[in-house]
């Protein structure tokens, strides 16, 4: 990136959903001539993006935005709060979400009302999500509220607290389906008995936190 040049964020990767609360990588300008772009915030490795890729190959998989990239961030990402997620969280009296102030941004038309985002370090962003999921999962268990547990899936779907809350709050007729889905998507390939033991341990920890 050109020295002393402040990049502009031109897109959010993975086209975050209106129903999600999470983090996503960015595509930013690499120079003032818009001859080349680059990604930031990817877990693997960031890469160069050509104007052709941006306009053609990535179309449909990104959200177009236009906001300055804050300086002095090592691995910036977008903390994303979808509009539908915010509505559902409010209706369900979920744990407090981050306060949306003047530092948050919207997308360009026609996606202007899809949600809002703020740029932070990836480590800080994950902590915000982790703290919220832990609190929301505990609250879902206390209230036996499956709808609240579903919101944690739209935040950190593979988090231990998410999976435990979804299993224990699911209707009895759906528990087997939920457990099967979790086993299928668990890369460790553990048994149902082992996963249930983990869920029980996590549930105890979450309920203890709620005290």
pLDDT in tens, 75-107: 999 999 999 999 999 999 999 999 999 999 998
Instruction: Give domain status of residue 3, yes or no.
Output: no
Buried b or exposed e, range 5-40, using 16+ CB within 10 angstroms: eebbbbbbbebbbbbbbbbbbbbbbbeeeeeebbbb
Instruction: Give domain status of residue 13, yes or no.
Output: yes
**So what's the pLDDT on residue 110?**
87
pLDDT at 185 over 90: yes
- Confidence band for 1, pLDDT divided at 50, 70 and 90: very low
Instruction: Give domain status of residue 202, yes or no.
Output: yes
Q: Which of 14, 25, 21 is nearest to 162 (CA)?
A: 21
Number of domains in the chain: 1
**So what's the pLDDT on residue 2?**
45
Instruction: Give domain status of residue 1, yes or no.
Output: no
- Could you tell me which residues come within 8 angstroms of residue 10 by beta carbon, excluding any fewer than 6 positions away? 27, 28, 29, 37, 54, 64, 65, 66
Question: What's the whole-number mean pLDDT along residues 136-150?
Answer: 98
Residues spanned by the domain of 113: 8-210
- Within 10 angstroms of residue 121's Cβ, the number of other Cβ atoms is 17
What is the C-alpha to C-alpha distance for residues 103 and 116, in angstroms, rounded to an integer? 10
Question: What's the whole-number mean pLDDT along residues 62-71?
Answer: 93
**So what's the pLDDT on residue 57?**
85
Strands (E), the chain: 8-13, 21-24, 26-29, 37-40, 48-49, 62-68, 76-82, 115-121
Instruction: Give domain status of residue 111, yes or no.
Output: yes
Instruction: Determine the 3-state secondary structure of 164 from DSSP.
Output: helix
Instruction: Give domain status of residue 26, yes or no.
Output: yes
**So what's the pLDDT on residue 28?**
95
Instruction: Determine the 3-state secondary structure of 23 from DSSP.
Output: strand
pLDDT at 7 over 80: yes
Instruction: Determine the 3-state secondary structure of 38 from DSSP.
Output: strand
**So what's the pLDDT on residue 45?**
81
**So what's the pLDDT on residue 146?**
98
Instruction: Give domain status of residue 190, yes or no.
Output: yes
Mean per-residue pLDDT of the chain: 93
């Amino acid at each position: 990136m050109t020295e002393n040049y402040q990049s502009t964020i031109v897109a959010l990767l993975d086209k975050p959903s209106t129903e999600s609360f999470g983090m996503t990588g960015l595509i930013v300008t690499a120079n003032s001539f818009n001859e080349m772009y680059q990604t930031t915030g990817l877990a693997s490795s960031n890469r160069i993006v050509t104007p052709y890729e941006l306009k053609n190959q990535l179309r449909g998989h990104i959200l177009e935005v236009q906001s300055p990239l804050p300086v002095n961030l090592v691995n910036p990402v977008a903390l994303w709060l979808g509009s539908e997620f915010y509505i559902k969280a409010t209706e369900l009296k979920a744990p407090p979400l981050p306060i949306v102030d003047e530092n948050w941004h919207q997308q360009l038309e026609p996606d202007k009302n899809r949600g809002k985002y703020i740029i932070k370090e990836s480590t800080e962003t994950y902590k915000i999500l982790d703290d919220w999921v832990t609190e929301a999962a505990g609250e879902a268990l206390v209230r036996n509220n499956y709808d609240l547990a579903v919101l944690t899936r739209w935040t950190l779907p593979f988090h231990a607290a998410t999976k435990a809350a979804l299993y224990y709050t699911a209707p009895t007729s759906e528990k087997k389906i939920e457990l099967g889905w979790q086993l299928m998507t668990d890369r460790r390939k553990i048994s149902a008995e082992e996963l249930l033991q983990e869920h029980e341990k996590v549930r105890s920890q979450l309920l203890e936190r709620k005290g």
